[in-house]
């Protein structure tokens, strides 16, 4: 039996309010040893709104949240939304000056910080110029629960509408700094409604929210279960013990990045059996190596696999490869595709050099137009103008083609980006750090194939004359200044970098030996 659908939603808390009224005592969310009903959870969200209002937060103001997965992050996002305020969900993996840059860039005046991450905030507290209040979430010095308890529940403020900014999520920056992607209530609701039907929920189902909430694969995926009115289990991290406990507790739907799926197989037969009860396994955020995908299809024959492709700038998913397409013996080549467009989305395939559309089967840059498309990049009008062009089309920077059935195939990138383990890394932000090492004269950072992570980060370095710095020394240097997933895993030392006549480094030339013989170059 399919779960009852909520009324048509236009605001991000509409579904939550609906289920709190229709089935107030049914379970909504489980986290650790805590469980909340729909009525209890909606009360907490409304108390967040009341507490923020009491703290001076109103329409257009911004708060930030820094922690590993915690229901409080969703509560703050939803509660802030009732006031027309904005939550900037910060990547807790960021290091050094990356963290203070993002928090300052967000314009947040109130920062919610998990107790586990508090030492990182204390080290940079003096650099957080706009933050007037830090609220500790969890741990012995938890202030979050008292923050809620002292507040009167608040409803939606007058004048708050679906086109108000609701969420800021940071993507890696093409020029060396992360960019805040601005998403409205309308963007996120459209995403939930457009993508949800490909992974339908029924009575008795349970959604697993395991991916980081600072990623659209965490926060936006969590909204599918809320919209459908089924209970969700949230794990703090997607570690094997947490995942297997969630599967044992009855999770039927999950979104996992390919690196986590690879880790399941590496954990052994019992781990593989633990996933056998999944009805739907959604994967994406990074390419799935074809051998791993075939292995998973064979291991879980009753599971509906759904590949998702998209960008933060599109609130998440813009195309899906359905369970039926995964097992279509007549068109096995479509396993390598990114599926077909979600409802409401339009696509152009454009020659990047001429700006003209190309024909079916020919490669070009993917441009999308959809109600899911972001407002733009926070405080970066020039970057926004480069990404969103005439008539509202979003340039993705991804190169690919479309087949005769409308299936999208991603083969390369215009952007200088690497996707490793589901995280986007722009080469310039890594190069900016590597070149600061005194032994480095020049550097080019590229992505190379990795069977576990999809791609891994490699630095190709020309050393200063007479310098003898080792691969280990330079990698250690970057780890002090960058999130670990951005740091080079390997380094090649070369006498010179290849360049074109105008002096531009030829990264395609550097990458080609590693990607030789592969259909995809990403």
**Per-residue pLDDT at 519:** 58
Query: What predicted TM-score, i.e. pTM, was given to this entire model?
Result: 0.85
DSSP state of 391: G
Terminal Cα-to-Cα distance of the chain (whole angstroms): 41
Average pLDDT over residues 450-459: 86
Q: Average pLDDT in the 424-451 region?
A: 84
Strands 364-369 and 394-402: antiparallel
pLDDT in tens, 201-221: 999 999 999 999 999 999 999
The answer to whether 377 touches 384, Cβ cutoff 8 Å, is yes
> What's the pLDDT tens digit per position in 336-387?
899 999 999 999 999 887 889 998 888 889 999 999 999 999 999 999 999 9
Domains along the chain? 13-160 (3.40.50.12780), 336-413 (2.30.38.10), 419-515 (3.30.300.30)
Q: What is the pLDDT of residues 6-47, one digit of tens each?
A: 667 889 999 999 999 999 999 999 999 899 999 999 999 999
DSSP for residue 152: P
What's the pLDDT band for 1 if we cut at 50, 70, 90? very low
Report whether pLDDT(51) > 60.
yes
pLDDT at 502: 47
Gap between the Cα atoms of 345 and 317, Å rounded: 10
Q: Please give the pLDDT value at position 4.
A: 60
Place of tokens 């970098």: 497
Q: What share of the chain is helix, strand, coil (3-state, %, to 5)?
A: 35, 25, 40
Residue 3 has pLDDT above 80, yes or no: no
Where is pLDDT greater, at 449 or 297? 297
pLDDT of the residue at 322: 96
pLDDT(409) > 50: yes
Measured from the Cβ of residue 328, the count of other Cβ atoms closer than 10 Å reads 14
Closest Cα to residue 102, out of 114, 89, 115? Answer: 89
Selection from 177-191, 248-262, 407-421 with the highest mean pLDDT: 177-191
pLDDT digits (tens, 9 = 90+) for 478-517: 998 888 889 999 999 998 888 765 456 788 788 888 887 6
Q: Name the β-bridge partners of 462.
A: 442
Buried b / exposed e over 460-493, threshold 16 CB at 10 Å, is bbbbeeeeebeeeebbebbbebbbebbbbbebeb
Statement: residue 235 has pLDDT above 90: yes
Q: Is 344 exposed, middle or buried (0-12, 13-18, 19+ CB in 10 A)?
A: middle
Instruction: Say which residue, 97 or 113, is predicted with more confidence.
Output: 113
Question: DSSP characters for 39-88?
Answer: HHHHHHHHHHHHHHHHTT--TT-EEEEESSS-HHHHHHHHHHHHTT-EEE
For residues 419 and 91, which has the higher predicted lDDT (pLDDT)? 91
The share of the chain scoring above pLDDT 90, in percent, equals: 65
> Averaged over 177-205, what is the pLDDT?
94
Q: What is the pLDDT of residue 501?
A: 52
Comparison of pLDDT for 518 and 45, the residue scoring more = 45
Residue 315: is its pLDDT beyond 60? yes
């Amino acid at each position: 039996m399919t779960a009852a659908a909520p009324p048509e939603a236009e605001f991000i808390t509409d579904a939550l309010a609906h289920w709190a009224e229709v089935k107030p005592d049914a379970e909504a969310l489980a986290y650790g040893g805590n469980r909340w009903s729909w009525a209890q959870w909606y009360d907490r969200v409304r108390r967040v709104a009341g507490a923020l209002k009491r703290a001076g937060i109103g329409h257009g103001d911004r708060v930030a949240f820094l922690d590993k997965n915690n229901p409080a992050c969703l509560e703050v996002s939803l509660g802030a939304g009732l006031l027309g305020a904005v939550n900037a969900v910060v990547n807790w993996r960021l290091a050094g000056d990356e963290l203070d840059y993002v928090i300052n860039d967000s314009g947040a005046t109130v920062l919610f910080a998990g107790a586990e991450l508090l030492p990182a905030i204390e080290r940079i507290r003096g650099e957080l110029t706009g933050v007037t209040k830090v609220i500790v979430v969890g741990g012995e010095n938890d202030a979050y629960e008292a923050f809620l308890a002292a507040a009167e529940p608040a409803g939606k403020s007058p004048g708050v509408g679906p086109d108000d900014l609701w969420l800021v999520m940071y993507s890696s920056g093409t020029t060396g700094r992360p960019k805040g992607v601005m998403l409205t209530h309308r963007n996120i609701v459209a995403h939930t409604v457009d993508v949800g039907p490909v992974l339908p929920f029924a009575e008795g189902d349970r959604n697993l929210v395991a991916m980081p909430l600072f990623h659209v694969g965490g926060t936006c995926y969590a909204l599918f279960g809320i919209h459908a009115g089924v209970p969700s289990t949230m794990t703090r991290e997607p570690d094997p013990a947490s995942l297997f406990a969630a599967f044992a507790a009855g999770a039927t739907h999950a979104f996992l990045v390919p690196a986590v799926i690879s880790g399941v197989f590496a954990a052994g037969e019992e781990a593989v059996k633990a996933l056998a009860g999944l009805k739907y396994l959604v994967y994406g955020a990074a390419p799935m190596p074809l051998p791993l995908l075939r292995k998973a299809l064979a291991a879980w024959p009753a599971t509906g696999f759904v590949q998702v492709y998209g960008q933060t700038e599109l609130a998440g998913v813009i195309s899906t490869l359905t369970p039926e397409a995964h097992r279509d013996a007549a068109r096995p080549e479509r396993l390598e595709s990114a599926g077909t467009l979600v409802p409401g989305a339009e696509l152009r395939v454009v020659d990047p050099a001429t700006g003209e559309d190309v024909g079916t089967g020919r490669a070009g840059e993917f441009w999308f137009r959809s109600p899911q498309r972001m407002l733009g990049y926070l405080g970066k009008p020039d970057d926004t103008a480069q990404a969103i062009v005439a008539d509202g089309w979003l340039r993705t920077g991804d190169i690919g083609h479309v087949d005769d059935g409308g299936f999208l195939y991603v083969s390369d990138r215009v952007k200088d980006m690497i996707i490793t383990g589901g995280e986007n890394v722009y080469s310039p932000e890594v190069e900016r750090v590597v070149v600061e090492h005194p032994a480095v004269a020049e550097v080019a950072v590229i992505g190379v194939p990795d069977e576990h992570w999809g791609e891994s980060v490699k630095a190709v370095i020309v050393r200063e004359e007479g310098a003898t710095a080792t691969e280990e020394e330079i990698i250690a240097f970057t780890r002090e200044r960058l999130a670990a997933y951005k740091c080079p895993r390997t380094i090649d030392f070369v006498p010179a970098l290849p360049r074109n006549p105008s002096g531009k480094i030829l990264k395609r030339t550097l990458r080609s030996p590693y990607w030789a013989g592969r259909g995809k170059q990403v």
